[in-house]
Each structure stands twice: as C-alpha cells, then as structure tokens.
Copies of this chain bind each other. A is one copy, B any other.
Amino acid sequence: MEHTPIACSHHDHNHCISDALEAARQLCLGRGVRLTDLRLQVLELIWQNHKPLGAYTLMEMLAKANTRRVAPPTVYRALDFLLEQGLIHRINVLNAFIGCPSPTTKHQSHFLICRACGIAIELNQPELSQQIIGVARDAGFAVETQSLEVSGLCANCAGNTEHSEHRHE
C-alpha cells in the first residue's frame, strides 16, 4: 500500500495554500477567534512550501513584505495563536513551524522529516496514536500530547542520494 505523500510529489501548491487559508478562515469564524491580517500573513508564509520555517526566517519575510522592521514578539505571538488553534505544528528537532493540512480534526503531531530536501510530511495514523497511548498506559502514564519526529530521506531524495546528498533548496 505504498502511497507517495502530496508534499513529496509534483502538485499544484497554490491549491494547498488556498485550501489551508480558507480552512483557517472557516475554523476561526466557527470558533469566534480573530484571524487577523498578521496571523493570516504568517500562516500564508508558513504555507509557501512543505518545509518547516523558523521564527526568525518568518520574521525576515514579514519585514520584507511589510517594508518595515518586525520584532520577535510579533511573530511569536502570531505563531502561538496558530499553534493554539491547531493551524500549525512545531517541529522541535528543527525549532521550526509547519502548516497543518487538517486543522479541524484533533490529532497528534507525527512527522517524517527529510534531512536532504527539508520537507516535513505529516502522518495521519490514528492507530499509531492509539498504540502510543496504550504503551504509555501500561506504564501508568496519562498521555496529553505526542510529538513524533522521524528523520531520514523522503522518496524523492532516497533515489538521488548517490548523486546529490546535500541540497537544501
């Protein structure tokens, strides 16, 4: 049952972006929280590809887009909001953030991260979450959040490894 993830295959990424932004608008509307210009802008920047972006990278992008200085708290507050609403995930191993393709359904943070091209693929495996909860319960542990970060090579990069190991863009 091999199935190449969207992030790894050629696809119309504008579609990913518009879907994500529209989903965010609906979700915030439904919850009565404010998806302000800044927050939307940060979300859009995060979605510009399937690679996690650091807060300071986002800060520079914001500064460039708005042609004025943007300070860390500004971007961190937007990121905190997006994290709270489940619109993005934090990739701890990279100190970076990536958009969530299914923010409406509650789920844990499970990612495959390619060390060659930098892509992060979000898994959708409720059974895995359940198994982890089970293992934890056997140890008397009550799970609140899960972070699974698997590093390696994605389908694209695994094939090209011998030729070009270290490209980052």
Contact = CB atoms under 8 A, between A and B. Distances in A.
Contacts of A158: 140-142
A33 interface: no
Interface in A1-48: 1-5, 8
* Dominant secondary structure at the A interface: mixed
Nearest to A90: B93
Contact of A141 (B138, B141, B154): B154
B151 A148 contact: no
A131 B70 CA distance: 43
Total copies of the chain: 2
A123 interface: yes
Given A132-B150, A145-B152, A138 B93 contact: no
A58 interface: no
A153 B131 contact: no
Given A93-B92, A121-B139, A138-B3, A147 B145 contact: no
Interface of A: 1-5, 8, 92-93, 112, 114-115, 121, 123, 125, 128, 131-132, 135-155, 158
